[in-house]
Amino acid sequence: HRHLLGIEPLKPHEITAILDLADEYVALNRRPEKHSDVLAGLTQINMFFENSTRTQASFELAGKRLGADVMNMAMQASSIKKGETLIDTAMTLNAMHPDLLVVRHPHSGAVDLLAQKVNCAVLNAGDGKHEHPTQALLDALTIRRSKGRLHRLNIAICGDIAHSRVARSNLILLGKMENRIRLIGPPTLVPGQFAEFGAEIYDDMREGLKDVDVVMMLRLQKERMDGGFIPSEREYYHRYGLDADKLAQAKPDAIVMHPGPMNRGVEIDGTLADDINRSVIQEQVEMGVAVRMAAMDLLARNLRAERQAKAG
Ligand code: CP
């Protein structure tokens, strides 16, 4: 592949290859001397048109740990504010010969569109409600390391599925790896069309959590609810907030995940989120750096091979 725009085009063996390489980068990142130069001589530009803490910081660290020259575009201070379009901005940067472009954008499909216009590899860091492929890959790595496998697990994805690119990418990835997926939430946030992904839908959280191996919580994405139904936080927490009592329905060794940013007391109890015996939220962040290193390493190999073939 030239780009990483979504999980959709990836085959199961390609997902496994990314996770295997990411495992090697987890080991490297834990060593006091963290040195690799697989991206030396390459330029990585990060363009975030939407807020980010984890994804932006981990892509930057990942590029630096692999020896790339990394530039973070301050989109709030860019000429986008003067009316320049996304494509004109991308073409301007393309003329500076970057090798890797990491892009987050509020509109679904914007990153795909941009990838068609530039000569470098593009990594989707989240586009609207569409996909967030590196998030699904880091979640998969966290599950595989915690459970020892990434197939035939019962996995519950809970909360605001309708507005979540994280849920979409995870549904695609975990489905490709032959897991059984349950979607839990109120019907307004879990539209019936999600059954197309082969998932079972529950609006009763306790019933949905019965005997699951993995509980993945999601944030209420009010910024994407534009005028639609917004549940009251109190009522939502009562019915769909994960606490120790509801978690007791899951397997005793079930893990609790959250992609972040989390809203304590809305979708998850703060004490449970901090419980290192159940919560793997910090591991997810650690895996994020390794997965992004693996993804950029593999795309850079393809890019170099393509350029060598062209050079003849
Ligand atoms: N999980 C995630 O994408 O977090 P950020 O929005 O902070 O990057």
pLDDT bin (cut points 50, 70, 90) of residue 63 is: very high
Q: Give the pair of three-digit tokens for residue 249.
A: 């329905």
For residue range 35-57, list pLDDT tens digits in order.
899 999 999 999 999 999 999 99
For 271-278, what is the mean pLDDT?
Answer: 97
- pLDDT confidence of residue 34: 86
DSSP states along the chain = ---B--STT--HHHHHHHHHHHHHHHHHHHSSS----TTTT-EEEEEESS--SHHHHHHHHHHHHTT-EEEEE-GGGSGGGGT--HHHHHHHHHTT--SEEEEEESSTTHHHHHHTT-SSEEEEEEETTTB-HHHHHHHHHHHHHHHS-SSS-EEEEES--TT-HHHHHHHHHHHHTT-EEEEES-TTTS-GGGGGGT-EEES-HHHHHTT-SEEEE----GGG-TTS----HHHHHHHH-B-HHHHTTS-TT-EEE--S---BTTTB-HHHHT-TTTB-HHHHHHHHHHHHHHHHHHHHHHHHHHHHHHH-
The pick from 54, 163, 164, 289 for probing ligand 1's pocket by mutation, whose C-beta has the most ligand atoms within 8 angstroms, reads: 54
For residue range 150-202, list pLDDT tens digits in order.
999 999 999 999 999 999 999 999 999 999 999 999 999 998 888 888 999 99
Q: Is the pLDDT score of 259 beyond 70?
A: yes
Residue whose CA lies nearest to ligand 1 atom number 4: 54
Is the distance from the beta carbon of residue 106 to the nearest atom of ligand 1 less than 6 Å?
no
Q: Is the pLDDT score of 304 beyond 70?
A: yes
- pLDDT confidence of residue 312: 84
Q: Give 292 Cα–ligand 1 centroid separation in angstroms.
A: 13
Q: Give 247 Cα–ligand 1 centroid separation in angstroms.
A: 24
Please give the model's pTM, rounded to 2 decimal places.
0.96
Is the distance from the beta carbon of residue 259 to the nearest atom of ligand 1 less than 6 Å?
yes
Query: Please, what is the Cα angle at 194 between 175 and 232, to 5 degrees?
Result: 120
Sequence ranges of the binding site for carbamoyl phosphate: 54-55, 104, 132, 135, 260-261
d(CA 237, CA 66): 42
Counting every residue written for the chain, the total comes to 312
Residue 49, class by beta-carbon neighbours within 10 Å (0-12 exposed, 13-18 middle, 19+ buried)?
Answer: buried
Mean pLDDT of the chain: 95
Q: Does the interface ipTM go beyond 0.95?
A: yes
Q: Which residues pair with 296 in a beta bridge?
A: none
- pLDDT confidence of residue 229: 65
The pick from 48, 55, 160 for probing ligand 1's pocket by mutation, whose C-beta has the most ligand atoms within 8 angstroms, reads: 55
pLDDT bin (cut points 50, 70, 90) of residue 228 is: low
- pLDDT confidence of residue 227: 64
Preceding omega of 261 cis (within 30 degrees of 0): yes
Sequence ranges of the binding site for L-aspartate: 82, 165, 219
Could you tell me what percent of the chain has a pLDDT over 90? 86
For 279-283, what is the mean pLDDT?
Answer: 98
Identify the residue with better confidence: 129 or 35: 129
For residue range 13-33, list pLDDT tens digits in order.
999 999 999 999 999 999 999
For 232-247, what is the mean pLDDT?
Answer: 95
Is the distance from the beta carbon of residue 54 to the nearest atom of ligand 1 less than 6 Å?
yes
- pLDDT confidence of residue 81: 79
For residue range 65-89, list pLDDT tens digits in order.
999 999 998 877 778 878 888 899 8
Q: Give 259 Cα–ligand 1 centroid separation in angstroms.
A: 7
For 264-293, what is the mean pLDDT?
Answer: 97
- pLDDT confidence of residue 75: 79
